[in-house]
Amino acid sequence: MLALARHLLLELYDVDPARLEDVDGLERALRGAADAARCTIVGMVQHRYAPHGASLVLLVAESHLSIHTWPEHRYAAVDMFTCGTTTLPEAGMRAMIAALQPGRHELTDVPRGILQGENA
């Protein structure tokens, strides 16, 4: 079996709400994670919600990284979707954990595009 991509899902709990409202800090964290994962940055889109929270998506040549925050719940959801074999997505997620300093976290690794047989 061959997976075309990996999709890492990071749940961050008990995060300082000020970190989750700081869009500039969140952008630095995503860019740092992309660098740690050896991804090539292509572009960034961000949106701040009222009264709380933000969503940021960092487009990389290998796919994307994103974060969605709920400061009022001290929670953030981070995704890192990477294709190919040259990236280090776990290193990128470690960088996100270090930047946001959650009280606890959960990481799930989902293989995407699993090919079998002749297509593998």
pLDDT for 116 equals 82
Q: Which domains does the chain have, with CATH numbers?
A: 2-112 (3.60.90.10)
Q: What is the pTM of this model?
A: 0.93
Query: Which of 7, 39, 63, 105 is an active site residue?
Result: 63
Residue 71 has pLDDT above 90, yes or no: yes
Report pLDDT for 120: 57
pLDDT tens sequence across 3-53? 899 999 999 999 999 999 999 999 999 999 999 999 999 999 999 999 999
Instruction: Please give the backbone phi and psi of residue 22, each rounded to the nearest 5 degrees, phi first.
Output: -85, 90
**Annotation says 39 is catalytic:** no
Distance (Å, rounded) from C-alpha 93 to C-alpha 110? 14
Q: Verify whether residue 105 is a known catalytic residue.
A: no
Annotation marks residue 63 as catalytic: yes
* Confidence (pLDDT) at 2: 82
Amino acid (1-letter code) at residue 99: A
Catalytic residue among 52, 55, 66, 68: 68
Using DSSP bridges, classify how beta strands 2-13 and 75-83 pair: parallel, antiparallel or unpaired: antiparallel
